[in-house]
């Protein structure tokens, strides 16, 4: 149970006692905290506070009082890795007042797998509005941890990770120069990294730093001090240099630290979801997880296919008569082709079909210099929506809407009601949104407060229309899927599409579950069967660094309630036995067991289907072959299962033989330990069906 040590300092422990938090103010009244895990320091003395133009909540503080409480509940998410989540923590509220009479409470919640804290600014006489200049939150590391970083950037997180020591971060980030989306800010961000950030200490602790419940506030990045090993919050400013506009009372998002000496605990942690508010949507019956295919990968495969209907770059949505344009003949979002996708989905039990490039505007869209890029209710002439709507309905397949906004959030908001009504009128329930480009309103970045507000505006409006969202290029997730369960997925990291643009090394998907996925599911787009792109000719010669079997495993290691089968139907038709796994694998789970894990190296996870007694297992490795040892002791004692194992063939290798896989069936029970060989860049996927 939590205990207050003295009037001016406070200590609190996690429910099982493994985590200890201390909070105090120093000699100049700066509040600070430290955190330990099983007596190992996780965070050494680290300052707390926030500076605004109008008031500095940083120093001259004294502790007025502390309040402690305990909380233990079990809640049921609408979908996810678990059907029940335990939310168990001890809470410490430290009520501070500074010499100017300013009031601030820091609320800490300590769980067995980490800690969250936030600043709470109550209604008070001495402060009302705040224009935020700086949040001074520190996460000071006791030693020169290993970290897996992507570079600080206000506008994109679509980067590969780099492994580095804290001391070497600045050098490590130099490799991103030039590809960085904000090259003019390279000095400002030269030692800045993004969250969710994963670290590993030499004494064996795994530490994830992120935030939860990002609402009405800019996203946090972290400035790294390479000599003191200090991390400090770096809020995304708007382009006028202000980091946020607040009115009191206001609670910031939670700053989160997940910690364990077992990497699997980081993957299993539900701490970030627990720090978010319960669902604001009362009736969630319309929220339906789904698998989908899409008119999408065609445009990446080097076949010169385009999102645009014509090559006339001067076509303007709402102005040009598109029926008079000359079609370019390379536009896959046409009626006949989409019909084929619908047929494939119907045949294979895939829920839905995404169609990109269906609407007016793609001829010349990627420019912040225009004020209207797209119309969201104007199909291209070759996309017969009434026909496809009825055809899909008849086949029992849903169409997934696509709203690329070209980052013009202002115009998207102007069209939003009409766009969502158009969806409902045409039987669409879900939309993939996109924000490629420089943001309009032009004062905003992708992760500044204005765009955080925009994302909330869109998700709430979508809920009004009973629409599910899969957002791309939006502020990276912070567990808001609990509050808005219609927010099925986001991109917010370098996804599978990059297999056609430089590739993702196998370590990438062995890091994302430790980092990006802590905020919520990713629309990673797994399921690539034709991994050697030279197959398509036309100068494409990249090879995705993955075996085919590994792509099946990703459906388990990268769980999402909106999961794509990314490859072309024609490629799936070439491997029907392997595609059977994608057909079978669920997208929501009753339970999940992380069996093996080491960041950037390997992950093995077992999940229980939410709607049956089938278990599914995914195992991946990095660029080194590996034997996964899959201990099935989690299975119910005494019950027999048949395991269908989709595995790398003995001679499989992402580079030389990616499509070599085997499928075999074996009998297993809770005594079984499967030893499963994973190729270089390989993986395995297993379905376990009870023998009745």
Site residues (CB under 8 A) for a second copy?
Answer: 123, 128-131, 216, 238-240, 242, 245-248, 313-314, 316, 364, 367-371, 410, 413-414, 417, 441-444, 450, 453, 457
How far apart are CB 131 and a second copy at their closest, in Å? 5
How far apart are CB 123 and a second copy at their closest, in Å? 5
CB closer to a second copy, 394 vs 417:
417
Residue 194 backbone phi and psi in degrees, to 5: -100, 160
Task: Compute the chain's Rg from CA coordinates.
Answer: 25
Confirm if 118 and 106 have CB atoms less than 8 A apart: yes
The helix or strand, by DSSP H or E, that contains position 347, with its residue range, turns out to be helix 335-348
CB closer to a second copy, 40 vs 418:
418
Q: What is d(CA 619, CA 180) in angstroms, rounded to the nearest whole number?
A: 32
Number of H helices, E strands in the chain: 11, 37
Confirm if 228 and 140 have CB atoms less than 8 A apart: yes
CB closer to a second copy, 43 vs 130:
130
**The token pair that represents 59 in the structure block:** 């120093």
How far apart are CB 242 and a second copy at their closest, in Å? 8
CB closer to a second copy, 47 vs 316:
316
Confirm if 89 and 109 have CB atoms less than 8 A apart: yes
Name which of 412, 558, 572 is nearest 494 in CA terms.
Answer: 558
As a residue count, the chain comes to: 692
Name which of 448, 54, 480 is nearest 248 in CA terms.
Answer: 54
CB closer to a second copy, 314 vs 675:
314
67: left (phi over 0), alpha (psi -120 to 50) or beta: beta
The helix or strand, by DSSP H or E, that contains position 404, with its residue range, turns out to be strand 398-404
Count of other CB atoms within 10 angstroms of residue 645: 22
How far apart are CB 596 and a second copy at their closest, in Å? 46
Name which of 224, 57, 203 is nearest 140 in CA terms.
Answer: 224
Give the residue ranges of DSSP H helices in 349-448. 385-395, 409-425
How far apart are CB 447 and a second copy at their closest, in Å? 16
How far apart are CB 359 and a second copy at their closest, in Å? 18
Count of other CB atoms within 10 angstroms of residue 101: 11
Burial 109-132, CB ≥16 within 10 A → b, else e: bbbbbbbbbbbbbeeeeebeebeb
Confirm if 274 and 85 have CB atoms less than 8 A apart: yes
* Angle subtended at Cα 204 by Cα 275 and Cα 556, rounded to the nearest 5 degrees: 55
Q: Which residues contact 170 (CB under 8 A, 6 or more apart)?
A: 190, 191, 224, 226
CB closer to a second copy, 231 vs 438:
438
Which is the catalytic residue, given 30, 404, 497, 588?
497
Is 497 an annotated catalytic residue? yes
Expressed in percent and rounded to 5, the helix, strand and coil fractions of the chain are 20, 35, 45
How far apart are CB 448 and a second copy at their closest, in Å? 10
CB closer to a second copy, 80 vs 450:
450
Residue whose entry in the numeric block shows the structure tokens 């001090």: 225
Q: What is d(CA 411, CA 407) in angstroms, rounded to the nearest whole number?
A: 9
How far apart are CB 590 and a second copy at their closest, in Å? 38
CB closer to a second copy, 175 vs 414:
414
Confirm if 203 and 261 have CB atoms less than 8 A apart: no
CB closer to a second copy, 127 vs 606:
127
Name which of 145, 157, 130, 115 is nearest 57 in CA terms.
Answer: 130
CB closer to a second copy, 248 vs 663:
248
Residue 602, SS3 per DSSP: strand
Annotated catalytic residues are: 497
């Amino acid at each position: 149970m939590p205990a207050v040590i003295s009037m001016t300092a406070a200590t609190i422990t996690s429910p099982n006692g493994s985590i200890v938090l201390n909070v105090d103010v120093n000699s100049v009244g700066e509040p600070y905290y430290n955190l330990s895990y099983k007596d190992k320091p996780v965070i050494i003395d680290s300052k707390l506070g926030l500076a605004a133009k109008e008031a500095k909540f940083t120093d001259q503080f004294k502790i007025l009082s502390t309040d402690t409480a305990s909380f233990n509940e079990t809640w049921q998410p609408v979908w996810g890795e678990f059907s029940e989540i335990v939310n168990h923590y001890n809470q410490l509220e430290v009520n501070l007042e500074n010499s100017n009479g300013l009031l601030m409470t820091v609320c800490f919640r300590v769980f067995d797998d980490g800690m969250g804290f936030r600043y709470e600014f109550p209604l008070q006489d001495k402060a009302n509005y705040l224009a935020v200049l700086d949040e001074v939150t520190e996460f000071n590391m006791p030693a020169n941890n290993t970290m897996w970083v992507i570079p600080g950037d206000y506008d994109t997180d679509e980067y590969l990770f780099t492994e580095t020591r804290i001391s070497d971060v600045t050098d490590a980030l130099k490799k991103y120069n030039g590809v960085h989306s904000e090259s003019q800010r390279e000095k400002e961000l030269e030692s800045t990294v993004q969250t969710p950030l994963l670290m590993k200490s030499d004494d064996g602790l795994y530490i994830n730093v992120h935030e939860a419940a990002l609402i009405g506030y800019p996203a946090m990045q972290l400035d790294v001090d390479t000599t003191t090993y200090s991390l400090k919050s770096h809020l995304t400013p708007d382009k006028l240099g202000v980091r946020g506009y607040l009115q009191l009372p206001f609670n910031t998002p939670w700053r989160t630290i997940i910690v364990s000496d077992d990497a699997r605990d980081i993957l299993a942690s539900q701490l970030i979801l627990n720090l978010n508010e319960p669902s604001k949507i009362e009736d969630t019956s319309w929220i339906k997880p789904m698998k989908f295919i899409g008119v999408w990968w065609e445009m990446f495969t080097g076949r010169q296919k385009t999102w645009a209907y014509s090559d006339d770059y001067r076509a303007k949505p709402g102005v040009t008569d598109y029926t008079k344009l000359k079609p370019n003949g390379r536009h896959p979002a046409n009626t006949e082709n989409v019909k084929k996708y619908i047929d494939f989905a119907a045949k294979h039990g895939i829920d839905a079909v995404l169609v990109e490039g269906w609407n007016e505007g793609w001829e010349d869209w990627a420019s912040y210099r225009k004020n209207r890029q797209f119309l969201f209710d104007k199909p291209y002439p070759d996309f017969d929506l009434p026909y496809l709507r009825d055809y899909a309905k008849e086949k029992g397949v849903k169409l997934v809407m696509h709203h690329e906004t070209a980052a013009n959030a202002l115009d998207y908001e102007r069209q939003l009601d009409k766009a969502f009504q158009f969806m409902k009128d045409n039987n669409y329930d879900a939309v993939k949104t996109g924000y490629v480009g420089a943001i309009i309103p032009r004062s905003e970045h992708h992760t500044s407060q204005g765009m955080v507000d925009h994302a909330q505006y869109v998700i709430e409006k979508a809920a009004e229309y009973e629409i599910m969202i899969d957002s791309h290029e939006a502020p990276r997730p912070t567990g808001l899927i609990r509050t808005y369960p219609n927010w099925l997925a986001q991109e917010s990291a370098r996804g599978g599409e990059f297999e056609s643009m430089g590739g993702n090394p196998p370590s990438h998907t062995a890091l994302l579950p430790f980092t990006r996925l802590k905020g919520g599911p990713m629309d990673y787009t797994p399921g690539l069967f034709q991994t050697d792109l030279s197959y398509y000719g036309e100068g494409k010669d990249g090879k995705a660094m993955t075996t085919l079997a590994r792509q099946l495993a990703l459906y388990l290691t990268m769980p999402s309630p909106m999961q794509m089968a990314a490859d072309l139907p024609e490629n799936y038709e070439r491997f029907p036995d392997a595609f059977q796994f994608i057909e079978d694998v669920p997208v929501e789970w009753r339970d999940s067991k992380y069996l093996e894990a080491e960041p950037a190296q390997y992950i093995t996870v077992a999940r229980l289907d939410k709607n049956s007694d089938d278990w599914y297992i995914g195992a991946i490795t990095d660029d080194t072959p590996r034997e996964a040892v899959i201990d099935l002791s989690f299975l119910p004692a005494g019950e027999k299962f048949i395991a269908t194992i989709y595995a790398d063939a003995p001679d499989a290798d992402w580079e030389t033989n990616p499509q070599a896989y085997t499928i075999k069936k074996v009998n297993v029970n809770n005594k079984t330990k499967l030893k499963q060989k994973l190729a270089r860049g390989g993986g395995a996927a297993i379905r376990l069906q009870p023998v009745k």
